[in-house]
Structure 1
């Protein structure tokens, strides 16, 4: 009952993004910013899931945080797994209160090395730097005690401000090709709005496309 009441309270505080006359915003980055801002009071809206599709059709997921976003794309940093380096196409998924979700698909581009270093040394806490360094140097972990021992040893070796940046720590900017907004507004009713870059084609030939703003088209999808 409490969660149901909380959801209704949140929904009362947010704005509808599709009305009878159409979408209230024709620019997906501006709409994303609205949802992001509205979610601040209920969660950390930066939390997201990174998805990469591999050549064999399998996929891998990694939870992380979006550090910034703009018309250019969505910026994030991570301790990169080898599988991610083999694939430039990825997706980001944000799941927020009020049964809202945003999925962004696009091409990832590596950030300049100096920008990655600046983030690692200035934005990441010391303990997290130590943990990342240990993960990169451990091929396998026997147990929790083994990991704690390695962390303690690394702390004795590197004082604050002296932890080397792990070789697999990287930063990326995902350039969006399509952005889908999903909102569940009732027991059986969902609203889905998908934006595509003007050079992108819809998945089905007969799907209607409408002109958006700032180089985007959009389509209203069936639930």
Structure 2
């Protein structure tokens, strides 16, 4: 199928150096708040790219649960493909795509597990059914059928009853500590605005440079 005629111009805005905050986390917060106010569906969704020990990349969508100056946090099963690949190579990339605003944010950095106490705090905030789902899903591993998965879930509900769901030892969070953050704003004629923040080695100082589209 020839898709060469599927195109549109990006006309909703621009981005100049004077628009940018010196701190990329503050800049991200400004864009993220605008994405939420625009009612973009799943504005917390971000694509996580990992690379295994053989150099094979893989991607999947995860949800940002919180962020601060230390990094961007998501949660997963530690036996999942993404967790296995992070164990082999903890250099990862995240991308937020907010098409309604004609914007992207790309984050490159390293992923590390958050402390168990931090994972427990978030786990306790989840709906009870989501807590139980973490127990019954052997994420990324083959299963015989959906019916088997639902049966395990029902067995878990019966077992737990009115009790509390404990934090699985095989489940928790990762924090992606950024060393590069790029802000991309679509522009007319494909002359997009791109600015890259790079952290100077061993410091908390960020430099900013404009990239050609």
TM-score range relative to shorter protein: 0.7 to 0.9
Q: Pick from 107, 110, 119 the counterpart of residue 107 of structure 1.
A: 110
Match of 2:205 in 1: 215
CA distance in 1, matches of 2:103, 2:140: 38
- Provide the aligned C-alpha RMSD in A: 2.5
CA distance in 2, matches of 1:178, 1:167: 31
Match of 2:19 in 1: 24
1:40 match: secondary structure: helix
Unaligned 5+ segments in structure 1 are 201-213
Unaligned 5+ segments in structure 2 are 1-7
Matched, 1:69 2:67: yes
CA distance in 2, matches of 1:170, 1:143: 26
Displacement after TM superposition at 1:85 (Å): 2.5
Contact kept? 2:72, 2:176, Cα under 8 Å = yes
Under a length normalisation based on structure 1, what TM-score does the superposition of the two structures give? Answer: 0.79
CA distance in 2, matches of 1:197, 1:56: 28
Cα displacement string for residues 10-45 of structure 1 (whole angstroms, at most 9, x for unaligned residues): x3xxx6431xxx341132112111110100022232
Displacement after TM superposition at 1:138 (Å): 9.9
Matched, 1:98 2:96: no
Under a length normalisation based on structure 2, what TM-score does the superposition of the two structures give? Answer: 0.82
1:140 match: secondary structure: coil
Contact kept? 2:71, 2:178, Cα under 8 Å = yes
Displacement after TM superposition at 1:57 (Å): 1.4
CA distance in 2, matches of 1:48, 1:160: 34
Q: Which has the higher contact order (CA 8 A, sep 6+)?
A: 2
With over 3 angstroms needed to count, the CA separation of the structure-2 counterparts of 1:170 and 1:85, relative to structure 1, is: farther
Q: Pick from 164, 168, 171 the counterpart of residue 169 of structure 1.
A: 171
* Equivalences, count: 197
Contact kept? 1:133, 1:164, Cα under 8 Å = no
CA distance in 2, matches of 1:160, 1:218: 53
